[in-house]
Structure formats: C-alpha cells, structure tokens
Chain A
Amino acid sequence: MTENTPLLEVKNLNKQFPLRKGMSHRKNQAITAIDDVSFAVYEGKTIGLVGESGCGKTTTGKCILSVYPPTSGSIVYRGMNLLDLDGKRRGECRRKIQMIFQDPYGSLDPRQSVYSIIKEVYAEDGERHRKNEINEKVEELLETVGLPKEISDRYPHEMSGGQRQRIGIARALACDPELIVCDEPVSALDVSIQAQIINLFIDLQKAKNLTYVFIAHDIAVVRHIADTIAIMYMGRIMETMNADDIYVNPLHPYTKALLSAIPVVDFYEEKKRKRIAIEGEVPSAIDRPSGCPFHTRCDRATSACKESVARMAEVGPGHFVACHNV
C-alpha cells in the first residue's frame, strides 16, 4: 500500500430500508438513509462525520462495519472491496475494523466481568494463548486506557459511564484493529469526562497509528479530533473540508447554519458572531425533498436546487462542497 492510498474509501454508498405498509402497498416505499456518500480516510488520520438526527451518519458507520449490506456502492479497505470478499477473507479482515458505541450502558454484557469481556475478545484471534499471556494482555490494555488493573474483577454496573466507555475502547483494542468507527462515543458522558475520553482517543491514535471514522453531532468535539470533517444532511454529504477550516471558511449554507446554531463558550467571541436563523425542521425521511435535500430550508435555494443535486466540487485544497450556489 503506497503512501497515497487511503486506508478506507467509501464510494457512492447507498442504503435504503424498505418500508412495509402492511396489507395494502400502493407502492414499495423505502427510506433512503444514505444517498451517494463518498469519502476517503488515510491511515493514522480521522474523518469526522457530522450531522443531525436522520442524516445517515450512523448508518454509514454500520455499513463500513458490514452490519448491513449497502444497497449499492462499495467500501474499499486496503484496496479490497469488502463487499466482494468471501467468508474466509472477510473473517480475517473483520477484527481490523472495530467499533466504539454511544451508550456506555448497553455496550457491555452485564453478566461479564471486565476481565472476561476483554479476554473473550482477545482470545478469539485464532491462536492459542496461555493463561498468563492473556492476563498480561488484559493488564496491558487496561493500563492503555487508563484504568487500574484491579478493575478487572468488577462488573459493568459497578462502574461509571466514563469507565465503561474505556472498557469498550479496551475491548476494541484487544482485536488489534487498524480502523475504529466511533459512534458518538462521548455524547452520553458528563462534560468533564468527555474531555478525558477525547484525549484518550487522540493519544491512542498517535501511539498505535489508528485511523478513526468519528461520528458525532457535536462539531466542537469533532474539531478536536478530526483531520477532515464531512457534514451530512438527509443522507448526503454537503461539504467536506479540513477540520481547521470549518470555523473559518464554511461554504455550504447548511454548514453555516449549523455552525451558527452552536453557541461558543468564549464570551466575547460569541457576542461578535452573526447568527443565521434557519427555519423549519428536518424533513421526514419518507418524504424526501426532490433535488438537494436542503433546499426546503435554504435561504439561497433556487429552482435548480429543487430539481437536482449538485455534485461535490472542489473549491480549495481538501475542500469540497455540493451546492449550486457556491
């Protein structure tokens, strides 16, 4: 794999979920969760997928993990299309891509001790391990995620949300992954704990050259950890850019509205900001607007926007926007 090949490349991903309308179908209705999503992420880097509810970011993450097969499109990992792989090869690849979950309370089996949770996952790598080797590994992983080794006898209900999330991370690391899909990993945590976990993610990335697909609804969080940010709305990517640019040079009307809606803690900065009011609500997934999905709420919408989606166009280094009016 050369320097310039991305570790993961998602191409024209589409995912629809069929709706069954009971006995009388007038037509086969389906919810389009993801519509023509493409992005690439390089080894050791992080891409942030940001958007509000219903934008398809979690579905994208799950497609990458092969939780469900996409309706069309491809997911290319190290040059191989994951969807084309047969069972054996897919099994070899599977442990390389792991997931961290949003809900620290549902992500651990309540009947398993911490030791057991990590050991089970570690020991499944197809090789035989001796007992003391396993013990060492468990201790090592606990230390890597900042937990004391005494915690291995405890059960999930005895630990806080932040600790549970760390166990989830340790479990993912036990598979020795290269790519981790992080699905809103800090949303359910207290503010002061969020920072601890975010820093942990960053440190781990540097130490182990991990690649992240970081899904979140909070742009501020993503900004700290991502190299590239993709803004999603109703299943499409509206804008992709370097994380550093997002506050400074957002171009897509949705991105601007999104940023404007998020207050900044810096008191003086906040007072200086111009606010963009955005009307209406996210349309229902069953009744997708034609053309660009954002046109119903966009203050710059023209008739072209109603008719067709704009292609992603490069407007600067690493900066792509899908909008007719930019």
Chain B
Amino acid sequence: MLLRLVLAVLTLIALQAALVALISAVKRRGSVYVTIVIVAFASAPLAVFADRLLFGRPLQPDGRLFLALTHLALGGFLFHFMTLPDRSVTLRILVELLLAPDRALSLSDLTARYGVQTMIGSRLAQLQDGRCLTIAADGALTLLPRGRSFGRAVTKGRRMFRITSAN
C-alpha cells in the first residue's frame, strides 16, 4: 500500500512538472507561477479519474477527494520549488561562478555580470509590471495603492517578527 502511494505521488508531481516544462518551453513570455497554478487545477480531474491506474481499483469518494487535494498540494510544492532557481540571488551567484572560466570570478567581475544595478533595475521593472509602482523617465519612483498596501504589509510583518535589518 505504501509503495503504491509513493508511486502515485511521484507520478502526479512528475506529470505536473512535465506539463509546466512543456508549456513554459512553448509559451516563453508568461509567468511560470501562473502556469503552475493552471496546470495544477486543470489536471486535478485527470488525477482523480486516474485512480484505477494509480491504485489498481476505483477509489471511494473520500479517497478521490484526498487524491485531488494531494495533487493540488503537489502543485503547491512545485510552485515553491520554482521560486528557488527563479528568484534566489544566492543560486544565481553560484551559477555565475559555474559558468566562469576555472569556476572563479573576482568580486568586480561578479558584480559586473550580476550586480546591484541589474538586480534592482529588474525588480523595479517587475514591481512596475505588477502595478506596485511607477518609474518616471527621470528615475523618480512613486508607489501605487497596491505598492503602498504591500509596503504596509511588509512593515507590519517585520514589526510583528521584530525584524530590524533585512537583505
């Protein structure tokens, strides 16, 4: 029973990862996170009706509910996993070193490839795309209502956890 369960879980996560990889390869400009959410929800019925294939017999209604929720939870794990290569500054630094000759870089070479200018420029552009702020031609930044709500939430959260310095 345990082996069958583990195989079912691995099959479901592999199916979702393969679908996300395929869609991302075809549709390169979209958000991978939106793709993951769509894939998880759209393929949940497939998972539920694959009960005979996964477990060798049709599941009772409670089992089908658990299977659907398990499938969605696995989509959630894929979502979290994706934030690592997609967002992590630390992992990007490791990749820059991997791609460098002799796997070594001076600090100035590293910052020339992936430095504060690039990072902040890109994050500001993403915050602008997300309608959190506007960037004027002269570089002035103005928070929009969504950005102010975000700022308020981060400020409250940091106060709640007594975080005094970050990043």
Same complex for A and B? Answer no
Residues of chain A at the chain B interface (Cβ within 8 Å): none
